[in-house]
Amino acid sequence: MFQGETAITVDDKGRVAIPAAHRDAVSACGNRLVITYNPFEPGCLFLYPQDVWEKVRDQVNALPGSLSAHRRLQRNLVGSSAPVELDASGRISIPASHRSAVGIEKKAVLLGMGDKFELWSEQAHHAQIRQSISDDDLSTQMLELKL
């Protein structure tokens, strides 16, 4: 299970280090992750362990292609996915096309979200936090959960 927020740096080759606290869990997945776009929020990529990804991929591919929303989801998740593997230093290479599409440059934020990671551009992550803080709907939901 992944959780927590880590500010990370993207090197000149587009590599990011997976935090040491998560490397054992990623290692248990064969050091293989799948990176794809977050179809719900701009500025963010999803990083799935291979086994979790296969379940998500199969569910998305099972959606009927007769609906344009399903085709968009299939394109954004499955069609744009790329396998990545941890190197000996615990880094993964983020494809240039993925970095460019979500605005990830030198600074990024990695969020552990349970069964996957979210990789945000630093700017998009900060904007999302500011939006969440001022979001009345979120405040109401939090009160209902007694957080």
Sequence-ordered alpha helix ranges (H) in 2-49 = 20-28
Q: Is the pTM of this model over 0.75?
A: yes
Domain that holds residue 134: 2-145
CATH number of the domain where residue 80 is located: 3.40.1550.20
| Per-residue model confidence as pLDDT tens digits over 95-143 | 999 999 999 999 999 999 999 999 999 999 999 888 877 666 655 665 6
**Number of domains observed in the structure of the chain:** 1
- pLDDT above 70: percentage of residues in the chain: 90
Question: What's the rounded mean pLDDT across residues 7-17?
Answer: 97
DSSP result, 76-136? IIIIT-EEEE--TTSEEEPPHHHHHHHT--SEEEEEEEESSEEEEEHHHHHHHHHHHHT-H
